[in-house]
Amino acid sequence: MGLIRKLKGLNRLSRTAWLVLGLICVGVVGYVDIITGYEVGFSLFYLIPIVLVSWFGGSPLGLTIAMAGAVMWGVADALAGAKYSSDWILVWNSFIRLTFFLITVFSVEEAKELDREKNFSRIDYTTGAAL
C-alpha cells in the first residue's frame, strides 16, 4: 500500500477523468498486445489501469475498466491471429479473464477498506486526537 499512498494526489482527478484515463490505458495495452502477437502475455499490464481506477475512481469504474480489459484482450487475441479449435474457446478465455479482473477489482476494494479502517484506528473517536 506504500505506492498507493504516494499516489494520493491522484484523488483530485474526477471520476470521469479516471474512466477516460482507464479506457485509454486499456486501449494502449491492447494495441501493444496486438502488435506483439498472442504468444506474449500482457495480463499484468491490463491489471495496472484496473487497479488504479478501482482504487481512485471506485469499484463501479473499476468494473467498467475490468470489462473493457477483458474485451480488449479477446479482441487483441483475435486480431493478433490466435487460432482456436472452436470459437467458444475465445469466449471462454474472455470470461475467465473477466473473472480474474473482477476478482482484482473486489480485492482492491477490500484493501482500500482495510486501509481506511487502519487510518481510523489511529484517531481517538471521542477527541479526534491522533494516537
pLDDT tens digits along 7-64: 767 778 899 999 999 999 999 999 999 999 888 887 889 999 999 999 999 999 999 9
DSSP assignment of 20-63 equals HHHHHHHHHHHHHHHHH-TTS--HHHHHHHHHHHHHHH-HHHHH
User: Taking all residues of the chain, what is their mean pLDDT, rounded to a whole number?
Assistant: 87
pTM, 2 dp: 0.82
Query: Residue 12 gets which letter from DSSP?
Result: G
